[in-house]
Structure 1
Amino acid sequence: MADPMIALATGLSAVLLFLLMIGLTVYLLWKRRQDMRRDNQLISTNSVIPPCTPVLQTLQASSYGSAEVPFFLPPSFKSSTHSAMPEGREEEEQWKQHPHLHIQRGSLTIGSWFPLGSLRPDLYQLPEEPSEWAQPSGSTVRLCFAVQYQQEQEQLVVSLLQAANLPAQCQSSATLVKLQLLPSEDRHHRQAKAQSKGCQPQFNDTFVFQVSNNSVDQCTLRMSLYSVDRLKKHHLVGHVLLPLRQDELQEAAGKVLWRDLETDSDLPLSKHGNIQVSLNYNQSLQRLTVVVLRARGLQCPSNAGVSVQVSLQIHTQVVKTKCTPETRGSTPTFNEKLTFRLLPVQLDAACICLEVQQVGHEELAEVPSTRATAPVSLGLVVIGPFMYARGRELEHWNEMISKSQELVKQWHGLGAANNIYNNNQT
């Protein structure tokens, strides 16, 4: 009884499997026929493209969504009417006829203007915006800083920003700047360390000095730049001396200042000593400004009083003479500003004569007692145009005229001179 039941079940299973295979075969044949019919419909809907049609844009429904995907057909630039035209001329004609192609296709432009895969650097360049931090032209070592004097608090605020154009031997070392007010009996100084190394190290430090309103005009801010080697030894690169004047400090408030570093070895020491002077000529105000800063190497005792007589001369006539207050010391510091009225037409005929004098000299035996207190000339220098000066003195005068917005500072060697009073008597 069990054998007929097993045979019946086996037969039914075979029949069902056979029917399933027939159904699957019929479905696959129907699916293939539908796919072939769809392909034929797509081919029949495409229009015939003329050979010279530049761009054909069609919209096809995506099988993944309803978004429209643009499709561009590359143009064919060869035609029978331009067959005899050179290749370069043919591309030029196509550029004129179809300028929109190069806008639409970007870097795929036909020809050698923008090859495939190339970049256009001009598209990625940002315009240079003017900035008050802009560094002046030149390769001299400079310091960038800002100063502001607060009269109510009697405080001098100094913001040290950065240095520029450091020598190659200093770029791999640490950089320090020491700040100090002169003259000062306090030997302590403020110190700023650069945050980075290289040609233009950044500081971004701020310092506050307590200075009274009565003494600020007699002070000078000294900023010395040092390079520190591996043995922690400090090497002086140069320094900046900024005479403090309340009117100049008000003008400099809120501005970024650039000053060149100077060294004592910039000018060899003269036999009669050297003098440092800043000059400025304001053509609109017809004003010549002479700032006598300091002197060194003078042939006089360190405790002797020294002053500088400044004379404005036009042709052979002395127009105006002014003197600085008496100063003592081995390296006297004057920081005295003297102004003269000078017309622009007189620039080529005028000069400045600076004479360093020892005041109250009473130790010369050959001087009569009646003239014992007469000043004695220690040396002089003439700064002016080609009519009066050469070398550094001529360069200083010409630079003063070309840089009307700033004080031009230089060292000058003093020449030999007899006592001016003896000269006048003879």
Structure 2
Amino acid sequence: MTVPVVAIAVGGLFGLIAVGTIVFLLWKLCTRRRKQSSSYEKIVGDHKRHSRIESIALFETNNSLKPIPFTVPQHVTPSIGRREGSEDQLCGGLSEPSTAGGKRPSVEVPGAYALGTIDPSLYRISDEDDNYEIPQDHIGRIWFAVEYERESEKLLVTVIKTKNLPCRPFGGPNGCDPFVRIYLMPDERRYLQSKFKKKTCNPKFEESYIFQVSNRNINDRILKFSVFDVDRHKKHNVIGHALYPLRDHDCDSNERLVVWRDLEREVLETTGKQKGELTVSLTYNNHLERITVGIFEGRAFVAEGSTSIDTAQEVAASPSVPSIDSYVKVQLVIQNKTIKSKKTEVVKKTDDPAFNESFTFKLPIASLDTANITVTAMQHQSGYKDKVIGRVTIGSFMFARGKELQHWNEMVSNQREQITYWHTLA
């Protein structure tokens, strides 16, 4: 009996020790977790308290600073875009300086242009040229400037303005919508064109153009200005034309010359005086791609200094005045470039020379539309430079009109046949 009781007592003791140990461990664990949570709350609380203190100090510091006065200059107003009634804005959103007249100072104040820029007022035509007496049946006047750079072979043409253009029959105060085309004759297929001007009979263009012309051909060219009006149906109606022969321009001076011309409804492309006639034949062989030019007879050649055919005939009839020595130069030109040049023998002391010579040139079929034959009658002077009596250009639509164009087209249509025409020298 004693042994079981002792065993029970020992077992109970061990059980109490185990329970106590478990309870102690649980209490220890709870205490540790409580300490950790309290330290986290303390750190968070301290952080919030410090942040609030710093915010209050910063607010007090900012309130203690004095405000800095800031003013915008009167002539510059910060702005984005464009405000109503103001000038155009500069880059960066700043408006231009305003003036009493509401315009830019560079337009109103002389010499207000920046260094290195061009003052357009130096190149404008004075208003005194506008106050001219308008003749009867006047259809307008055009002002233009011409300058020839001999070294670079460039012809600079500036269309300045036109005045007193006619109004449309039913246009009323709207005037017309003009523009200008510039041709370098005899090439009428290609041209340069100005901008359109809306509802004005006195447009100002101030536009410049460049033509490439060789020194050899500059005196043979004619500037043609054609003024058009665009109606409400977008149709181009011709107002008038003006011609300026470049032989009248001093191409050696390299100076800019301002010229005006009254517009004409019809103009003659060959404005030179007649200097005689010449018989020329053309034959084209399409298989060999060769053109043959025949120079036969001349008639009533006018010497240098004579003014008309009648004067030349009087000179020839006078026994005291010697007749002229002459020859003919023939040139093949393709796209304004002289390919080859040949000339006849000199026929002496006669105004009605007979040459009876022919020349052959290589001319591809593909170049027929861009080619021409230039025939020039020359006056031969011993010991002096030969002078031009007159010339005629026979070629395609790009270079010729009238009888000269008809001669060329007939040659192309009747290949390997000799086509002969009398041509007037000019």
The two structures have a TM-score, normalised by structure 2, of: 0.35
Which structure's CA Rg is the greater one?
2
The two structures have a TM-score, normalised by structure 1, of: 0.35
